[in-house]
Structure 1
């Protein structure tokens, strides 16, 4: 099965890279052909996009934040490259996000992460880079990639913070969850056939300071103008959206609803498991204390206390799996649903702009030949832009669908295995206790036929 998914991924990557449009009806059906699925409503957590304020920590410390570029050395001895079944290397860049540190300034406290990159690519000057990045740097990278590739599906970043769990952003669990999500974001970019080649991505991984690069880009008035045009075309809409993109929109809506429901239920299960684990930690010691008072029941009471302690340990391990594997995966793809809708809106904006210019050209009564020629050039340019946007989205949609199915399948299968293992171990604990409490046959006979 792994080779089949690898083949699909390579095919979709080649399609996007070469600019050739098209997915087969079978592929399209697997990605967007779920129109008959029931619409499930689900609540999402309230979020707030603050600008720069990060995580406050009681363990605040000062650090220089300087990046380090390591000299080139052999990658063969320091990192094992992943290979597919045919023995061909499928990855040439590896990224680790770790070592979160609190930084304190006069106005804020924020978290800085170390981003360690190892690569065998020839266009990199070194085989290893180490830089310090904060959350707003990740936001900058994502914004630049969306600006350069508006109809590619970029894996989402974690939210700035969650309103309903705002207290959690003060503790180490939140920071660790954020770290893992940031690493997933960079790993997804590294696996992408086009985004991984982006100059902004390389700058993010290798440059010590991003200040100069952040100053580059469209000025304020240009950004305002683009925003106004986007709102105008959103209101105007498109007249003839291709059927395949209609299907994508419907799929994104259904997908978002289902992921919202699954994410909400999973969070509730995690909360209940935490409460159950807390009760087990109090339940076992009570049996142990009771055993000290009942001399004739000391052994079975202590046995129950031991069973509860063992079950508590297994429950803690299962809870760890839910919070480390299943819950993050579901939540990431809940955010992906919003990303899909945003990308489809960008595609519609491009088409709407083309339609507006084409209408202006058709109804133009200007006698100036220069104006007509200029308008024709703009229409031709926009027509090409629409086609490029459609081609990019087709290829990336197929690639994203394969990656999504693989991620969710792996997470669900791992959770199923973990649940089976958890219940089998708990069952074995209690069966062992029951066996220990059985009365030997000889004692039963002695009790039935007392000696005279």
Structure 2
């Protein structure tokens, strides 16, 4: 990884994306183009590790975490409602402890198969247990184009499954690089315990907390004093999603046009090849031109594979924005509970003052009506009511103190997490856009090289 600007804080770029960018001033042979196409035939994977800031003391620093393979399986015992066997995909999760050892993961190498639903279970557990953390998102479960609001039929498409495998690996690596999440025992069990892991997750009781959390997050309420910082963060998350979606829409239009242009070159190649069969003097030049056109046409498939992988990295931040909104929503719930606790304490305090006669009663109240009908209450009755109210006030004060401490602790931890996210976001997005720009330069240079060679072919006719 080389630095583009020379600034140590600047993001590094993927040198492999520039490996095919030879000088186009001289002619390029058909063999060179064929070798480049063959080299790029195998889809390149997103360089997730280069996007992940591996901090000191984290699990990823001591353990290699990979999702190396995927496999389609058919359930022998389970069948769908239509009587068809359940078909699903499993992914091979491998961990390899480095020489320095790895935080209770033992030694050596472990590998086990996990379904996508198990990744979902792990993430749900992390979201509930560490509500202040912006938990890394999972890749999409179904093959969708969010910016076109479309869904494809085949979720077992080989290219999509491969991209999802890479996304799942990125998720595990991001969790392993997080200073808090990487120390969780359930996460360690996910990497090492295939049989008893689900039971260990459910034994934590997180599901009940999740149901309660979902109810509170879906509740509608209005805060008296919303926290401006979290309001701004929520608005930023919405803007981030909108901006990335807009970029992906433009990118999809450009790819469609570019794909069409390259396929038109294939038509040129076919015409030149057929033409060379009826022209004796120009036959060799026309045939060479046809070969160059065919090579240029085939190159678009490799280019699109690389661009789709870069787009997946960018799309990840659409889901990161959802995780940021979730943290903001949790802060709103805590703030609302704090305000309710304060209102209840104020109401009980006022009620006590009214019973003691230190505060005017409301214009209409049940106690006032009873006093007018049956006469004023006795001192013993007032003392009994005061004692009960004092006990309730003490409980309210304890509840308010606890709610205040919980809210303050959450805000402090969440703001630290937000700062970490901002740093990660800046580094990641710079890296992604630099790699995308390099990819555009590469495809442009390829076009220049093809047409330069085409010009040489026509001049030799």
| Residue of structure 1 equivalent to 2:289 | 304
2:94 aligned with 1:116:
yes
Task: Provide the rounded CA distance (Å) in 2 between the counterparts of 1:2 and 1:137.
Answer: 41
Residue pairs, 1:16-27, within 5 angstroms: none
| Residue of structure 2 equivalent to 1:131 | 112
8 Å Cα contact 1:83-1:89 kept in structure 2: no
Structure 1 residue 388, shift from structure 2 partner: 1.4
8 Å Cα contact 2:59-2:103 kept in structure 1: no
Task: Identify the match of residue 145 of structure 1 among 126, 134, 150.
Answer: 126
| Residues 397 and 295 of structure 1, relative CA distance in 2, 3 Å threshold | same
| Residue of structure 1 equivalent to 2:138 | 157
Gapped regions of structure 1 (runs ≥ 5): 7-81, 441-452
| Residues 328 and 186 of structure 1, relative CA distance in 2, 3 Å threshold | same
8 Å Cα contact 1:189-1:195 kept in structure 2: yes
8 Å Cα contact 2:128-2:210 kept in structure 1: no
| Residue of structure 1 equivalent to 2:25 | none
Task: Provide the rounded CA distance (Å) in 2 between the counterparts of 1:89 and 1:204.
Answer: 14
Aligned with 1:159: secondary structure? coil
Task: Identify the match of residue 327 of structure 1 among 298, 305, 311.
Answer: 311
Structure 1 residue 378, shift from structure 2 partner: 1.8
8 Å Cα contact 1:353-1:382 kept in structure 2: yes
| Residue of structure 2 equivalent to 1:295 | 280
2:445 aligned with 1:424:
yes
What TM-score does the superposition give when structure 2 sets the normalisation length?
0.71
Gapped regions of structure 2 (runs ≥ 5): 1-5, 12-51, 80-85, 145-149, 353-385
Aligned with 2:225: secondary structure? coil
| Residue of structure 1 equivalent to 2:68 | 98
Task: Provide the rounded CA distance (Å) in 1 between the counterparts of 2:7 and 2:420.
Answer: 15
| Residue of structure 2 equivalent to 1:362 | 346
1:398-418 residue CA offsets vs partner (Å, 9 max, x unmatched) = 111111121121121122222
Alpha-carbon RMSD across the aligned residues, in angstroms, is 3.0
| Residues 384 and 180 of structure 1, relative CA distance in 2, 3 Å threshold | same
1:36-84 residue CA offsets vs partner (Å, 9 max, x unmatched) = xxxxxxxxxxxxxxxxxxxxxxxxxxxxxxxxxxxxxxxxxxxxxx999
8 Å Cα contact 1:161-1:169 kept in structure 2: yes
Aligned with 2:67: secondary structure? strand
Task: Flag the structure with larger Rg.
Answer: 2
Task: Provide the rounded CA distance (Å) in 2 between the counterparts of 1:146 and 1:322.
Answer: 31
Aligned with 1:178: secondary structure? helix
8 Å Cα contact 2:138-2:167 kept in structure 1: yes
Aligned with 1:293: secondary structure? coil
| Residue of structure 1 equivalent to 2:366 | none
Structure 1 residue 197, shift from structure 2 partner: 1.2
126-135 vs 223-232, greater mean Cα deviation: 223-232
Task: Provide the rounded CA distance (Å) in 2 between the counterparts of 1:268 and 1:256.
Answer: 19
| Residues 251 and 222 of structure 1, relative CA distance in 2, 3 Å threshold | closer
| Residue of structure 1 equivalent to 2:191 | 205
| Residues 252 and 395 of structure 1, relative CA distance in 2, 3 Å threshold | same
8 Å Cα contact 1:94-1:190 kept in structure 2: no
| Residue of structure 2 equivalent to 1:73 | none
| Residue of structure 2 equivalent to 1:16 | none
| Residue of structure 2 equivalent to 1:23 | none
2:218 aligned with 1:231:
yes
Task: Provide the rounded CA distance (Å) in 1 between the counterparts of 2:139 and 2:269.
Answer: 38
Structure 1 residue 371, shift from structure 2 partner: 2.9
| Residue of structure 2 equivalent to 1:72 | none
8 Å Cα contact 2:65-2:96 kept in structure 1: yes
Structure 1 residue 262, shift from structure 2 partner: 1.2
8 Å Cα contact 2:143-2:151 kept in structure 1: yes
Task: Provide the rounded CA distance (Å) in 2 between the counterparts of 1:404 and 1:410.
Answer: 10
1:281-328 residue CA offsets vs partner (Å, 9 max, x unmatched) = 44422320121123343233213202212322433332222012x211
Structure 1 residue 355, shift from structure 2 partner: 1.1
1:196-232 residue CA offsets vs partner (Å, 9 max, x unmatched) = 1122211211112223124324487765544434334
294-303 vs 248-257, greater mean Cα deviation: 294-303
Task: Provide the rounded CA distance (Å) in 1 between the counterparts of 2:257 and 2:172.
Answer: 32
1:425-449 residue CA offsets vs partner (Å, 9 max, x unmatched) = 3212221332343369xxxxxxxxx
8 Å Cα contact 1:114-1:130 kept in structure 2: yes
Task: Identify the match of residue 216 of structure 1 among 180, 193, 203.
Answer: 203
Q: How many pairs were matched up?
A: 361
